[in-house]
């Protein structure tokens, strides 16, 4: 009873697996033959569908008529002319290239923070902290920012200044700017 019984028990799962596989294959082949057995019925259905008239197509959308526009710029300036470069560059604001730069001009204006003021009225001095974490005193007439910003007024809650920016055609434009006291 020893070794022969163990060998028979080990072969039982294999025999069961082979039997299940044979039943599955037999079921698949029976389904295949029944599907192919309906081929004449399928061919009849296809022939019936082909004899039916095609459904009507939707009508094409009506195209809108657009108004025509004639561009008449006979009296206007030519956008490709040298109108900006031919003007006299002697007048108007210009940056002073001979002026000695102050430390606050090495930082962009939006990176500077107004942190307080000292004094009152016309003698008010603003305290400005730069990105290098150094606090500078700023009074009217001094410069700050990278666009030649000249301080025009120091108030308890803000610093007003005028920057010089290029107009793209060789000239310069004055642009007002301000730096406000940050609430902490």
Provide the CA 117 distance to its chain's centre, in angstroms: 39
Measure Cα distances from 161 to 16, 107, 155, 176 in Å: 95, 15, 11, 6
Checking if the pLDDT of 33 tops 70, the result is no
How much is the mean pLDDT over the chain? 80
160: tokens are 């007003």
| Tens-place pLDDT, residues 43-84 | 888 888 999 998 889 999 998 888 888 878 777 877 777 655
pLDDT band of 91, cuts 50, 70, 90? low
Q: What are phi and psi of 168, to 5 degrees?
A: 85, -5
- Any bridge partners for residue 117, and if so which? 126
pLDDT band at residue 34, thresholds of 50, 70 and 90?
very low
The DSSP letter of residue 53 is P
Beta strands in 14-139 (DSSP E): 113-118, 125-129, 135-138
With beta carbons less than 8 A apart as the criterion, state whether 115 and 135 touch: yes
- Name the nearest CA neighbour of 162 among 136, 107, 172, 118: 172
Q: How far apart are CA 106 and CA 180, in angstroms?
A: 19
Q: What is the CATH number of domain 113-180?
A: 2.30.30.830
Confidence of residue 9 (pLDDT cuts 50, 70, 90): low
Which tokens in the block code for residue 76?
């206007």
| Highest mean predicted confidence (pLDDT) among 31-45, 68-82, 117-131 | 117-131
Q: Percent of the chain at pLDDT above 90?
A: 25
Residue 5 three-state SS: helix
């Amino acid at each position: 009873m020893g070794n022969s019984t163990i060998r028979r028990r080990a072969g039982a799962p294999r025999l069961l697996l082979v039997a299940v596989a044979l039943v599955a294959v037999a079921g698949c082949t029976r389904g295949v033959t029944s599907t192919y057995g309906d081929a004449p019925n399928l061919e009849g259905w296809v022939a019936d569908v082909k004899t039916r008239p095609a459904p009507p197509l939707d009508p094409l959308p009506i195209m809108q008529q657009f108004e025509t526009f004639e561009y008449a710029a006979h009296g206007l300036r030519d956008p490709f002319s040298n109108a900006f470069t031919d003007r006299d560059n002697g007048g108007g604001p210009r940056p002073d290239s001979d002026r000695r730069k102050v430390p606050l001009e090495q930082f962009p204006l939006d990176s500077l923070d107004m942190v307080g003021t000292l004094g009152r009225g016309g003698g008010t001095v603003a305290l400005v902290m730069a990105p290098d974490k150094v606090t500078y005193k700023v009074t009217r007439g001094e410069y700050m920012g990278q666009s030649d910003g000249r301080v025009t007024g120091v108030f308890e809650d803000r610093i007003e200044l005028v920057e010089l920016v290029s107009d793209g055609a060789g000239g310069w434009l004055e642009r007002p700017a301000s730096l406000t006291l940050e609430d902490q």
